[in-house]
Amino acid sequence: MNYVRQSFKAAGLNPQNAQLILVNDPSINAFVAGGQTIFVHTGLITNAKNVDDFVFVISHEIGHIVGGHIIRGYQEYQRLQKASLITTVLGGLVALASGRPDAGIAVMMGGNTSALGLFTAYRQTEESTADRTAVDIMKKTGYSLQGFNNVMKTIMSYERISDAGETPYFRTHPLTQQRLNDMSYFLANSTPLHDDLAFNLVKAKLIAFLYPPKQTNSLYQDESLPAQYARAIALYRSNKVMDSLKAIEQLIKNNPENPYFHELKGQILFETGQIQPSIEAYQNALHYLPDSLLINLSYANVLLESAQPDDVHLALNALKHVTHQDPDIPAAWQLLARAYDLQKKRDLASYAMAEFYMSINNTADAKRMAEKALTGLDKKSVAYQRTKDILDIGH
């Protein structure tokens, strides 16, 4: 997320509004779908040669946000859709007037094809504009435009395999070679690529969890920190739990302040039924990274498995932190409902479930749980007011 926040700031956007959602998909892709959330396919990270590759794609997507391309693209689509409809009606009139259906069909097809061509040309212009915005962002953040070069070369290698028969006119992006040509000046004057340890560790973790262990071991044969990290995960996924934990202990011994090594230890201990040692591992992780929402979420989950009153109390604190920082994480509300239920606070549990249903856009069940919660909640509490707000939706 730090890479995204840096790029948001460089683009003149509020970094606190930056949101990144990881999509488990091996293809090289990222996209925005409105708002300021960037969806990143795992394949973008696992195929990246350097952090600069990743930052370029993120900066390109931010270019779409800055340019308002999603909203404008939808408006353009609607405009051209109307033009296409007019052409279709005209084709029908031609067929009736001439008595020749083939003439009407020709008019319809010609108009619809033109509309599609105009829309894709419009999209290509926006993609080129986003590339230029990415150049400005990367200059400000200090990342190398050789990352753009890496990404384009990788895409070209896939294009040669999969897109041999595709007509370039109907692509939603400019031709990859054309993009390289347009950026040639900036590439010639770019700074060197970065060797970023934090990014390399993220990439190693994703590969180790997503790829077969044999492939992970083949990719990570050296003694670098990312390679040791990847192999420790591969051992666990090969059901060699004790060997994996030994490898992780060595990582922690050499890097005691890295929260993610403690987190991995906590995950493996939890998944192998060792609840109390897992709690301690997550506490160590949070000691070094107390505001991590994901670590707090995992920590709370383990504490609730313990179900001891003190642990439930700790879980509640962790979950309140998560829901305060980001109220749109469904799992946090589910766990919060479970924690309240363990404390016999049924009304608060119902309130938390109402929030859960709101977070997944299920308004009907959200209102059902809100009605169940309302009568027992303290009227001065935030939960009561929020429950009333949920019930008022649509009125």
Q: What is the pLDDT of residues 286-323, one digit of tens each?
A: 999 999 999 999 999 999 999 999 999 999 999 999 99
Per-residue pLDDT at 179: 66
Span 322-329, average pLDDT: 92
Q: Which residue is it, tokens 């060797």?
A: 195
For 327, phi then psi, to 5°, come to -75, 5
Residue 47: closest CA among 188, 156, 165, 123 = 156
Residue 16: closest CA among 32, 27, 5 = 5
The answer, yes or no, to whether residue 349 has pLDDT greater than 80, is yes
Alpha-carbon span 244 to 233, nearest angstrom: 7
Residue 6: closest CA among 62, 67, 66, 69 = 62
Sign of CA dihedral 380, 382, 385, 387: negative
Bridge partners of 123, per DSSP, are none
Alpha-carbon span 54 to 139, nearest angstrom: 15
Per-residue pLDDT at 320: 96
Per-residue pLDDT at 134: 85
The answer, yes or no, to whether residue 91 has pLDDT greater than 60, is no
Structure tokens at 114: 């033109």
For residue 18, the 8-state DSSP code is -
Work out the angle between the directed axes of helices 2-10 and 101-141 (0-180°, nearest 10).
100
pLDDT tens digit sequence for 112-141:
444 434 333 445 667 778 888 888 898 898
Sign of CA dihedral 384, 375, 389, 360: positive
* pTM more than 0.85: no
pLDDT tens digit sequence for 57-75:
888 888 888 877 554 444 4
Alpha-carbon span 163 to 281, nearest angstrom: 48
* Residue-range domain boundaries for the chain: 2-188
Structure tokens at 224: 């670098």
Least confident of 45-59, 83-97, 358-372, 376-390: 83-97
Residue 213: closest CA among 251, 258, 243, 254 = 243
Cβ neighbours around 97 below 10 Å, total: 10
Per-residue pLDDT at 183: 64
Alpha-carbon span 236 to 264, nearest angstrom: 10
For residue 194, the 8-state DSSP code is P
Per-residue pLDDT at 178: 65
Please name the amino acid found at residue 110. Answer: G
- At 39, is the pLDDT very low, low, confident or very high (cuts 50, 70, 90)? confident
pLDDT tens digit sequence for 215-259:
999 999 999 999 999 999 999 999 999 999 999 999 999 999 999
